Chains A and B, each alone.
Chain A
């Protein structure tokens, strides 16, 4: 089955740029979606189809996908961005959803 690999944690100072990666075999050929989950809350979609933002998600959130790595980029990081972030793809070969293991973003 398809595997997505995320770093367990990323730390960034307020106002700086955070980059969270999601690795997978030829992931650039798939569409990657990203979710933000704050403590005690349900996940929220922040990026879909690699780089599209749902309404209400700040422009500070962006995504890219190429080769074997997809990246969620959060610019001008704020304390409120501290959360767990999960990447997700639809594995068409098995017709099922695959989640990455999640990355905890800490704002220093």
Chain B
């Protein structure tokens, strides 16, 4: 059974930093790209960041570029999101997501339960 378990969320002051972790199990972690998707309170889904299976390629939404860093440790089956210079608008539930790609399209077949990040003074 595929499981994605996020941790590391919490309350942080504007300008502060936080590192999210996602522990994966039930599939060959090192074979799949992984993503982070967030959802602000009462809002829709927003694509945040992605990393290739070997960590060699990364992607960031313009809203977080230069402030967030995605990484992974395939030996530990763990995905990370280092967040810095946090702003109030970064307040959201952050989901770790496994992606499945074929025929030029990708979708998210498994989601973690999410971890809440609140940026407030």
Give me the interface of A with B, judged by CB distance under 8 Å: 30-31, 33, 35, 42-45, 48-49, 54, 86, 88-90, 92, 95-102
B111 within 8 A of A: yes
The distance from the CB of B89 to the nearest CB of chain A, in whole angstroms, is 17
* Interface of chain B: mostly helix, strand, loop or mixed: strand
12 residue pairs from A and B, CB less than 8 Å apart: A33-B108, A42-B95, A42-B112, A43-B108, A44-B111, A48-B100, A49-B107, A86-B44, A92-B104, A96-B61, A99-B46, A102-B44
The distance from the CB of B114 to the nearest CB of chain A, in whole angstroms, is 6
In the assembly, what is the distance between CA of A100 and CA of B47, in Å? 11
Which residues 1-58 of B have a CB within 8 angstroms of A?
A: 35, 37, 44-47, 50
Residue of B nearest to A6 (CB): B44
Q: What is the number of contacts between chain A and chain B, taking CB atoms within 8 Å?
A: 62
Given contacts A96-B61, A102-B44, list 20 more A-B pairs with CB under 8 A: A31-B105, A31-B107, A42-B111, A42-B113, A42-B114, A43-B45, A43-B95, A43-B108, A43-B111, A44-B111, A45-B108, A49-B107, A86-B44, A90-B101, A90-B105, A96-B47, A97-B37, A99-B46, A101-B44, A102-B45
Which residues 75-121 of B have a CB within 8 angstroms of A?
A: 95, 100-109, 111-114
Residue of A nearest to B47 (CB): A97
Residues of A contacting B95 in the complex (Cβ-Cβ under 8 angstroms): 42-43
Residue of A nearest to B103 (CB): A31
Residues of B contacting A88 in the complex (Cβ-Cβ under 8 angstroms): 45, 107-108
Residues of B contacting A90 in the complex (Cβ-Cβ under 8 angstroms): 101, 104-107
Residues of B contacting A92 in the complex (Cβ-Cβ under 8 angstroms): 104-105
Supposing A42-B112, A43-B111 touch, asked if A98 and B47 sit within 8 A by C-beta, the answer is yes
Residues of B contacting A102 in the complex (Cβ-Cβ under 8 angstroms): 44-45
Residue of B nearest to A34 (CB): B107
The distance from the CB of B110 to the nearest CB of chain A, in whole angstroms, is 8
Residues of B contacting A43 in the complex (Cβ-Cβ under 8 angstroms): 45, 95, 108, 111
